[in-house]
């Protein structure tokens, strides 16, 4: 990872960032942050990496489900203040669809239309979804059924990709830390290809 | 910040954005047995990158990892598992006794599955391979049709990697190139003679190399337009199925990089599958795959010369289970380097220093000289490995480790 030019933006999203730290980091260039080994600069670098890392993983781990034809929503509880940033990215990917990310106390809403982004930030996601539903007059039916069907497809496909002869749980946990799975509301279970009686007999 | 009502209104009005509304009808009604079988068919295929310069450059996003630590970022599947080839390591081959039922998607079905998984943020794109079916041109036509549906009917802008089937026609390759981000043909073997041992029904020269040259030539003609095949052509080898040495693999890969212009090669260690003619052959250790990738990196990223890399092979032409860079450094680095004066290229030759570390050292010493190894360690350089090859202030570690065989 390289420190990006707009690293101050990412630093400002860190949960422990304050105005004083931002002001001090304002004098630094990305190159200096990258190589300087002074403890304070090293701390800034670590904070920027922490935000970049969480952002990157959240863009990958958050799963969306449809509500009517024009809304996608998903559970999201990040440690850093990256709700809006991630929501914008997903809205850009699904242009013309309202993307709602949130949890019990926060929600972020973004819509990308003709290259422009419209945003809203409000309280709990359930309330925001309720409001959207009335505003769009969309009906209740469908979504829950939809979710299980797409998720079911995914689970079957995901399980099919596992090679038992390459088993490497350490790498799995390194790439998918429990903490980040929790932030995205993800519970990745892999039905390991359980050995059948037939396998046992043929081996014996 | 705008009100929810306004956002709702704006969303309802927009008709011209890329993917169109979510299809709320039960998206797909797929036979899960089919999904599982065709998914398993690509288990051993490797595709690491979803990086595509089609739009703004983004690093590959991995949406999940399996218990084996490899990422799932694409919907990686076969179009059909029906195949007439007789590859001795493959469970879909015509001569495999443990074959599953034959399945096949339809283009519409496959496009819909891909779209609904993409929409829910499970995947970044599609990786479409296939058995040869009755004839490869027919299957390729259907695969291209799938991609065309995605790109044109559904305005899908995700990543698409298409496998070109050995022996398919130039016209179909042309179509595939126009729609995909990356295409590839699997070499599988290191040479024609190894190929004949693995598979009697494919001609190495004509079915595989010639198709790679088609791709190269088509890309060469279309050089001016950047939008064509942004992620280029790649290839993949099965390592160790036919008893080939690492040196033979290296020679083949060199040819691929220089003459065919592949972006990169993938290596997949052979593992015996039940019911195939190679069932009783020994599985290749996974470290062999890892060492081959290291060798590959030394050539492609570190720009070592082939003549230098050859020193990493033993007398039988195999890499041993140790970092090839260390073996090469022992051979060629007779004096320790001073990180304050060494050029970037020289730094790259030190084991434990990669392109990023070398860049950091160069940037650091512009501001202040490096006076202690602890400074290097703080920059993230692996001192344990690099230490014996470095000298700072005229002093250096004298370890026997460097001279050990």
The pLDDT tens digits of the residues spanning B340-371 come to 888 898 889 899 898 888 988 888 888 888 88
Subunit contact A149:B28, Cβ cutoff 8 A: yes
Kindly indicate the confidence band of residue A204, based on its pLDDT and cuts at 50, 70 and 90: very low
Provide the β-strand partners of residue B188. B237
Q: How confident is the model at residue A9 (pLDDT cuts 50, 70, 90)?
A: very high
B102-126 average pLDDT score: 89
CB contact under 8 A, B62 and A159: no
pLDDT value of residue B102: 87
Interchain contact, A157 vs B44, CB within 8 Å: no
Average pLDDT score over residue span A163-192: 80
pLDDT given for residue B26 in this prediction: 47
Averaged pLDDT for residues B181-206: 89
Q: Of B4, B68, B360, which has the smallest distance from its Cβ to A135's Cβ?
A: B4
**pLDDT tens-digit map of A16-69:** 988 888 998 888 888 888 888 888 888 999 999 999 999 988 988 999 888 877
Indicate the CATH number for domain B30-235.
Answer: 3.20.20.70
State ipTM: 0.86
Binning pLDDT at 50, 70 and 90, where does residue A200 land?
A: low
Interchain contact, A142 vs B36, CB within 8 Å: no
Range in A99-113, B116-130, B168-182, B215-229 with the lowest mean pLDDT: B215-229
pTM for the full predicted model: 0.87
What is the percentage of chain A residues whose pLDDT exceeds 70?
Answer: 86
Q: Show residues of chain A in contact with B5, CB under 8 Å.
A: 131, 135
CA of A6, closest CA in chain B: separation in Å? 16
Give B50's contacts in chain A (Cβ within 8 Å).
none
Report the SS3 class of residue B183: strand
Residue B5 has pLDDT above 90, yes or no: no
Place of tokens 């089937």: B165
Q: How far is B282 from chain A (nearest CA, A)?
A: 13
* Least CB–CB distance from A192: residue in B20, B37, B67: B67
Query: What confidence score (pLDDT) does residue B16 get?
Result: 59
A127 shares contact with chain B (CB less than 8 Å): no
Residue of A nearest to B283 (CA): A165
Q: Is the pLDDT of residue B399 over 60?
A: no
Report the 10 Å Cβ neighbour count for B60. Answer: 16
Burial class (CB in 10 A: 0-12, 13-18, 19+), A181: middle
- The alpha carbon dihedral of B389, B390, B391, B395 has a sign of negative
Of A124 and B128, more confident: B128
**Residue B120 is encoded by which pair of tokens?**
């829910």
Asked if A37's CB is within 8 angstroms of B378's CB, the reply is yes
B136-148 vs B170-179: helix crossing angle, rounded to 10:
20
Query: A125 and chain B: CB distance < 8 Å anywhere?
Result: no
Q: Which single residue is written with the structure tokens 């298409």?
A: B162
- The answer to whether residue A25 neighbours chain B at the CB level (below 8 Å) is no
CA distance B256 to A3: 34
Tracing tokens 């290097």 back to the chain, one arrives at B376
Query: For residue range B137-181, what is the model confidence (pLDDT) as tens digits?
Result: 999 999 999 999 998 888 888 889 999 998 889 999 999 998 998
Nearest CA in chain B to A73: B120
Distance from CA of A7 to the nearest CA of B (A): 17
The residue ranking higher by pLDDT, A137 or A85, is A85
Chain CA centroid to CA A132, Å: 22
Size of interface A-B (CB pairs under 8 A): 217
Interchain CB contact of A130 with B (< 8 Å): no
- The full set of domain ranges for chain B reads 30-235, 334-403
pLDDT at A197: 57
Q: Is the pLDDT of residue B292 over 90?
A: yes
Q: Residues of B with CB below 8 A from A83's CB?
A: none
Q: Which helix (H) or strand (E) holds A124?
A: none
Note the pLDDT of residue A80: 93
Any CB–CB contact under 8 A between A86 and chain B?
no
End-to-end CA distance of chain A: 49
* B264 bridge partner residues: B234
Say if residue B45's pLDDT is above 50: yes
Mean pLDDT of B325-336: 86
Residues in contact with A192: Cβ distance below 8 Å, sequence separation at least 6, in sequence order: A162, A164, B67
pLDDT score, position B401: 52
Q: Which of B35, B113, B271 sits opposite A165 (nearest CB)?
A: B271
User: Mean pLDDT in chain A?
Assistant: 83
A119 to chain B, any CB pair closer than 8 A? The answer is yes
Residues of A in contact with B23 (CB under 8 A): 69
Chain A residues with CB under 8 Å of B25 CB are 142
Name the pLDDT band for B403 (thresholds 50, 70, 90): low
Q: Quick check: A160 and B375 CB within 8 A?
A: no
Interfacial A residues in 142-181 facing B (CB < 8 Å): 142-143, 145-146, 149-154, 156-172, 174-176
């Amino acid at each position: 990872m390289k420190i990006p030019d707009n690293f101050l933006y990412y630093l400002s999203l860190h949960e422990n960032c304050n105005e004083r730290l931002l002001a001090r980091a304002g004098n630094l260039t990305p190159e200096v942050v990258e190589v300087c080994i002074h403890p304070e600069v090293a701390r800034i670098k670590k904070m920027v990496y922490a935000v970049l890392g969480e952002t990157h993983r959240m863009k990958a781990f958050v799963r969306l489900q449809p509500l009517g034809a024009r809304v996608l929503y998903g559970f999201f509880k990040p440690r850093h203040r990256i709700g809006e940033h991630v929501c914008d990215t997903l809205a850009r990917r699904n242009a013309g669809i309202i993307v709602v990310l949130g949890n019990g106390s926060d929600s972020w809403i973004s819509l990308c239309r003709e290259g422009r982004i419209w945003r809203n930030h409000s309280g709990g996601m359930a309330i925001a979804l309720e409001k959207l539903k009335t505003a769009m007059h969309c009906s209740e039916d469908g979504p829950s059924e939809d979710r299980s069907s797409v998720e079911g497809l995914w689970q079957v496909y995901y399980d099919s990709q596992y090679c038992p002869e390459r088993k490497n749980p350490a790498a799995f946990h390194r790439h998918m830390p429990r903490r980040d799975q929790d932030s995205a509301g993800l519970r990745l279970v892999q039905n390991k290809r359980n050995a059948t009686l037939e396998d046992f007999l043929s081996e014996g | 910040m705008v009100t929810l009502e306004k956002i709702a209104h704006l969303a309802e009005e927009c008709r011209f954005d890329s993917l169109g509304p979510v299809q709320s009808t039960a998206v797909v009604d797929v036979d899960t047995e089919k999904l599982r079988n065709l998914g398993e068919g690509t288990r051993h295929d490797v595709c690491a990158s979803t990086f595509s310069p089609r739009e703004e450059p983004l690093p590959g996003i991995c949406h999940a990892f399996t218990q084996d630590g490899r990422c799932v970022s694409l919907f990686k599947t076969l179009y059909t598992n029906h195949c007439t080839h007789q590859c001795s390591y493959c469970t879909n081959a015509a001569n495999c006794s443990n074959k599953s039922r034959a399945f096949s998607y339809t283009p519409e079905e496959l496009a819909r599955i891909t779209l609904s998984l993409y929409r829910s943020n499970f995947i970044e794109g599609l990786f479409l391979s296939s058995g040869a079916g009755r004839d490869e041109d027919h299957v390729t036509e259907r695969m291209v049709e799938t991609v065309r549906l995605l790109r044109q009917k559904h305005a899908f802008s995700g990543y698409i990697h298409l496998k070109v089937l050995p022996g398919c026609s130039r016209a179909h390759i042309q179509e595939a190139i126009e729609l995909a981000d990356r295409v590839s043909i699997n070499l599988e073997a290191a040479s024609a003679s190894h190929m004949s041992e693995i598979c009697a029904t494919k001609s190495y020269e004509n079915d595989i190399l010639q198709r790679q040259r088609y791709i190269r030539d088509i890309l060469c003609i279309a050089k001016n337009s950047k939008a064509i095949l942004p992620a280029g052509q790649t290839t993949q080898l099965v390592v160790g199925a036919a008893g080939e040495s690492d040196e033979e693999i290296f020679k083949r890969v060199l040819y691929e990089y220089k003459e065919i212009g592949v972006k990169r090669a993938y290596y997949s260690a052979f593992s015996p599958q039940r019911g195939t003619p190679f069932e009783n052959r020994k599985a290749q250790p996974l470290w062999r795959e890892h060492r081959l990738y290291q060798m590959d990196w030394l050539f492609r990223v570190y720009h070592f010369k082939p003549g230098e890399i050859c020193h990493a092979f033993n007398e039988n032409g195999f890499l041993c289970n140790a970092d090839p860079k260390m073996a090469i450094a022992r051979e060629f680095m007779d004096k320790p380097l001073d990180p304050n004066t060494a050029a970037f290229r020289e730094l790259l030759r030190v084991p434990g220093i990669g392109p990023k570390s070398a860049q950091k050292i160069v940037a650091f010493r512009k501001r202040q000289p490096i006076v202690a190894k602890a400074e290097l360690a703080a920059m993230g350089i692996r001192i344990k490995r690099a230490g014996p090859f470095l000298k700072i202030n005229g002093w250096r570690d004298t370890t026997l480790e460097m001279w050990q065989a």
